[in-house]
Amino acid sequence: MASYQLYTFWRSSAAYRVRVALALKGLTADQHTIDLDAGDQYGDAFRTINPLAAIPALIVPGHPPLTQSLAILEYLEETAPNPPLLPPDPLGRARVRSIAGGLAADLHPLLVPRVRAYLTTTGGFDRAALRAWQDHWFTTGLQGLEKRLATDAATGLYCHGDSVTIADILLMSLVVVMRALHISVSDIPTIDRIVGMCETQDAFARAAPLQQPGAPPA
C-alpha cells in the first residue's frame, strides 16, 4: 500500500508537478481523481479532505493535507532527499527556486481556470480576448525565462546543471498547459532543448496529463 494519498486531476498543472516529483523519487501514492470540470472540488466529500477545495492535496497518513505544489515539492525534498531536486549549494538552490517561483508565481496564476472564468464572465472577455491574454503571458513569461537560461552559465542540460531540478518540473508543468491550449511560443531554443531532455525521462512521461485517469483520448 502506498503511504501517500494524492488528490489530483489529469489536466491540473499543479498536480502534474507532484506526480513528476513522486515518480522521480521513486515514491508512490494512491491517486484520487477530483474532477474539476464536474466541480468535485466543491463537494462535501472533498471539502472534508481539503476545506480549501484545491488540488493537489497530498495526505501523509495522520496529518492534515499538504497543499500548494511548491510546498509539497519542498516537503518531498526534505523527507525523501534522493535523488535531489535542488542543488546542494544555497546560491544554486536560490537560482532553482527563483526559476521555479517565476513560473509558479508570475506566469501560471494568470492562466488558471478561476481567472479564465472571471475574465470571460465579469471581465467581458470574448474568445479572442482570452486567447490574446493567454498568448501574451505565455510569450512574455517564456521568452523572459529563455533570455535568462540562454545567458547564464549555470544552465546545463537542464535549467540548472545537468540533472533535473524543481525548475524543470515547473517548466514542464507550464509546457503541458501550453500544449493543451494549442499555444506555441517562438524563439525559445534553450527551453525547447530542455523540454526535449525532460521528455526522455520516464517520470515526466508517466505524469503526463493524457496518461491520467479521466483524460480524454489522445
- Does residue 166 contact residue 97 with C-beta atoms inside 8 Å? yes
Q: Which of 105, 117, 180, 205 binds its own copies (CB under 8 A)?
A: 105
Site string for its own copies, 152-181 (x = CB under 8 A): x-x---------------------------
CA atoms of 53 and 34, how far apart (whole Å): 10
CA atoms of 192 and 198, how far apart (whole Å): 10
> Do strands 29-33 and 57-59 pair parallel, antiparallel, or not at all (unpaired)?
unpaired
Cell of 112: 488558471
Taking each continuous run of H as one helix and of E as one strand, the counts in the chain are 9, 4
Q: Comparing C-alpha atoms, which of 193, 188, 92, 107 is closest to residue 148?
A: 188
Q: Which of 38, 60, 117, 205 binds its own copies (CB under 8 A)?
A: 60
Cell of 197: 531532455
CA atoms of 59 and 139, how far apart (whole Å): 35
- State in angstroms the smallest separation of the CB of 186 from its own copies: 20
Which of the ranges 34-42, 150-158, 186-194, 209-217 carries the binding residues for its own copies, by CB under 8 A?
A: 150-158
38 or 115, CB closer to its own copies? 115
Q: Comparing C-alpha atoms, which of 218, 139, 211 is closest to residue 174?
A: 139
Q: Give residue 118's identity as a one-letter amino acid code.
A: Y
Q: Which of 11, 25, 32, 97 binds its own copies (CB under 8 A)?
A: 97
| Residue 106 lies near its own copies (rule: CB under 8 A) | yes
| Residue 132 lies near its own copies (rule: CB under 8 A) | yes
Which of the ranges 2-10, 62-70, 176-184, 186-194 carries the binding residues for its own copies, by CB under 8 A?
A: 62-70
Q: How many CA atoms lie within 13 A of 47 on its CB side?
A: 4
CA atoms of 97 and 95, how far apart (whole Å): 5
| Residue 146 lies near its own copies (rule: CB under 8 A) | no
Site string for its own copies, 18-47 (x = CB under 8 A): ------------------------------
33 or 75, CB closer to its own copies? 75
The footprint of its own copies (CB under 8 A) covers 51-52, 60, 63-64, 66-72, 74-75, 78-79, 90-91, 93-95, 97-98, 100-102, 104-106, 108-110, 115, 118-119, 122-125, 129, 132-133, 136, 144, 147-148, 151-152, 154
